[in-house]
Amino acid sequence: MTEYVFLNGEYVDITKASLPVRTHAFLYGTAVFEGIRAYWNEDEKQLYAFRVPEHYERLLRSAKIMYMESPYTVEEYCKITRDLLAKNNYKEDAYMRPTLYKSAQKVGPGLYDNPDSFLIISNKMGDYIDTSKGLKVCVSSWRRNSDNAIPPRAKVAGGYANAALIKTDAHYAGFDDAIVLDEAGQVTEGSAMNLFLVQNGKLVTTMKTDNILIGITRNTIIELAKDILGLEVEERAIDRTELYISDEAFYCGTGAQVSPIVNIDNRILGDGTVGPVAKELQKIYFDVVKGRVPKYKKWCMPVY
């Protein structure tokens, strides 16, 4: 069966899709992107893409920071995404990577005199991280890039070299992932996902101005925690040692979904198993993304 990508305004057989080797984005990381998930609902025989407009609104914000002009509106992006999923005829969970990139064939880092192009790749995708068991993580020796260097609020391809170093060093040290501090020593997030702590029945997470990606899943978790579980959510600066004495911790993100953490720097959280708040939020989240919760079905774009 032919698998399609969207490239230069057309749906193209992935085996025939290519970019010139001098493409600026390849040479300099000058691309902005999103990660979007679609979830298969077996009962309804429907594929739901989750919070698609919000992802493209963020893509446009990233593009503005990077001197990029968008070739499409949010509504047009949503239609392209739906059509691509339908053409690939997914009947299981899937993942999409829309990318707006600088496509000049030139050497030199400048973003000027440099046209913008757009593509989407998609593929079948289950759990990026095993969400059924708790993660063992460390605090990374690397620091998160700051808003005055490569702004984390923009999903810039080149900025993910930071995440790559963080994730890889954690792996070689025997951990599943790493929590990252900023240059001032304050907690930011995971290698490429947002972080929540549970302290005395309250959710605690870093602020939008703490050199983090302002996550779509983060916003989702905050709303669900308040609305369904009635939890207080506190957004504030977090010290490193707070990580060790929290009752629970978990990552969230499009790829990570809701991924509980049970061990940080060889300190066991709680009793060393997935905590009750993370477990409940995980269940609620998976029901929401599959279109099973009527109030939040507005977040789910049907494909078929």
Catalytic sites, residue numbers = 155
Q: Write out the two tokens for 179.
A: 């929590």
**Number of residues in the chain:** 304
Residue 258's closest CA among 238, 241, 281? 281
Q: Is 239:186 a contact under the CB 8 Å cutoff?
A: yes
Paired sense of beta strands 46-50 and 135-143, if any: unpaired
- How does DSSP assign 170-182, residue by residue? HHHTT-SEEEEE-
User: What would the 3-class secondary structure string for 219-252 be?
Assistant: HHHHHHHHHCCCCCEEECCCCHHHHHHCCEEEEE
Strands, DSSP E only, in the chain?
4-7, 10-13, 31-33, 36-41, 46-50, 94-102, 116-124, 135-143, 177-181, 187-190, 194-199, 202-205, 233-235, 248-253, 257-264, 267-268, 300-302
Q: Write out the two tokens for 291.
A: 């279109």
Q: Write out the two tokens for 296.
A: 């939040």
CA 264 to chain centre: 21
